[in-house]
């Protein structure tokens, strides 16, 4: 297999494993105690680091490291609920400028009705 296909296959398997663990926490055997939980977190972070390094090494084009990290954080927060997301500093400042001030008026909502 070529390195590109191997990376895609490994990424798919790792992604499926992480998705399974995230969506079926009761199916994962967890050792008792804080030390075991900490060890599990470190193992999962090591997995993330391994996938990150493989993407950097074998992806078709050299990816931007900061975009990879930001996308990972966005994915983590989006997995919590549909309303959680990451906003970088620039986007936060733009949002603050757009939402600063007082608003008044009628709370009218217009929708299209399909007949």
Which of 23, 1, 10 is CA-nearest to residue 79?
23
Q: What angle do CA 11, 46, 39 make, to 5 degrees?
A: 130
* Segment of 23-27, 71-75, 84-88 carrying the highest mean pLDDT: 71-75
Ordered by start, the domain boundaries in the chain are 1-63, 65-98
pLDDT, the chain, mean: 77
In this predicted structure, the answer to whether residue 2 has a pLDDT above a threshold of 80 is no
Answer yes or no: are the C-beta atoms of 63 and 56 closer than 8 Å. yes
| Segments in the chain forming alpha helices (H) | 3-23, 34-58, 65-78, 89-99
Query: pTM here?
Result: 0.50
């Amino acid at each position: 297999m070529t390195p590109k296909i191997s990376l895609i296959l490994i990424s798919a398997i790792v992604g499926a494993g992480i998705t399974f663990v995230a969506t079926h926490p009761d199916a994962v055997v967890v050792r008792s105690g804080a030390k075991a939980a900490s060890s599990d977190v470190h193992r999962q972070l090591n997995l993330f680091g391994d996938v990150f390094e493989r993407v950097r090494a074998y992806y078709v084009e050299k990816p931007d490291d900061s975009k990879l990290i930001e996308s990972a954080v966005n994915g983590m927060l989006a997995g919590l609920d549909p309303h959680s997301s990451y906003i970088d500093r620039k986007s936060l400042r733009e949002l603050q400028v757009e939402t600063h001030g007082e608003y008044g008026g009628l709370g009218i909502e217009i929708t299209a009705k399909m007949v």
